[in-house]
Amino acid sequence: MPELPEVEVLVRHLEPLLRGKRITGTIVRRPKVIAPTSVRNLSAKLRRARFTGLGRRGKYLLFGLRSPDRTPLTLVGHLGMTGRMYLAPAEARPPKHAAVILRLGAASLVFEDTRYFGRLTLSTGCLDALGPEPLGPLFTVDGFAQSLKRSRQPVKVKLLDQSLVAGVGNIYACEALFRAGIAPSLPARRLRREQVKRLWAAVRTVLREAIECGSTVPLNFSAGRRGDRLFYFGRAPEARGSYTERLRVYGREGEPCVKCACPVRRVVQAARSTFYCPRCQATRSSLRRTGKAKPRAD
């Protein structure tokens, strides 16, 4: 469930549930996900600590805590590809892929992660290399332009670089480029100023809309398997305005583009699928090749 909007919605969901709660025990079932923190150190530091607040940085969850001696500490979470976090009754049987469980008296905070790519650790070093928050004041058109100018990499690949801007993943990178009408293969340094500005705005709009959607649709944060299409921002196929329906290009290979009806293409860049409309997101050279007029981006 892991790009910025999903994490943001999860943080907002968990914040009022956790604030003020005291950790009464820590159960680590997969030591890998707390690395480089040791099981012993995690248990010791978290013992009887209280949650003071929650935050987010890129795709990372930040759990603010205060230990009994009033020392503040931050627990950092990352959902990887398949991570979930939710509250469950303390007596509930842990799910098959429970990685870490924090006991909170009558409830437990469960960190479940099928593929175990996620993290829940006291080590905050992973935050150091992150670029600006796309929805914060430090993400500026000028700064964005400068970062892009220094790279020959395809712009789609650059958008996934968390040091350029934090929190954009594969889905929203595709969506932002589509919205801005920019070819994903275009080398980052080749974007014209006007395109940089459109992309900057598109990144923000796409993320804001997704957060809005995730905050509006009823979500089930705990259900995992079949029957739970709601977890991932409401995938109920029949639900209007649902998550997948809102995505304009991602996962739509072969389907008609929502703007021009031209079939959406899938290509692989940096080992990830990129979806785009070859007409709405044409490069200048492809326009020359096909002799088509450049369609207007919105």
User: Smallest distance, Å, CB 41 to DNA?
Assistant: 20
Please, which of residues 153-172 interact with DNA by CB under 7 A?
Answer: 153-154, 157, 160, 162, 169-171
Please, which of residues 129-148 interact with DNA by CB under 7 A?
Answer: 129
3-state secondary structure 30-59: CHHHHCCCCHHHHHHHHCCCEEEEEEEECC
Whether 295 is a known active-site residue: answer no
Catalytic residue among 56, 59, 198, 252: 59
Catalytic residue among 3, 6, 112, 175: 3
Whether 21 is a known active-site residue: answer no
Which of residues 123, 273, 283, 286 is near DNA by CB under 7 A?
Answer: 273
234 forms part of the interface with DNA (CB under 7 A)? no
244 forms part of the interface with DNA (CB under 7 A)? no
97 forms part of the interface with DNA (CB under 7 A)? yes
Whether 3 is a known active-site residue: answer yes
User: Smallest distance, Å, CB 71 to DNA?
Assistant: 26
User: Smallest distance, Å, CB 240 to DNA?
Assistant: 21
User: Smallest distance, Å, CB 226 to DNA?
Assistant: 7
Whether 179 is a known active-site residue: answer no
Positions that interact with DNA (CB under 7 A):
1-3, 6, 32, 58-59, 78, 80-82, 96-97, 114-117, 126, 129, 150-154, 157, 160, 162, 169-171, 187, 225-226, 232, 269-273
Residues designated catalytic:
2-3, 59, 272
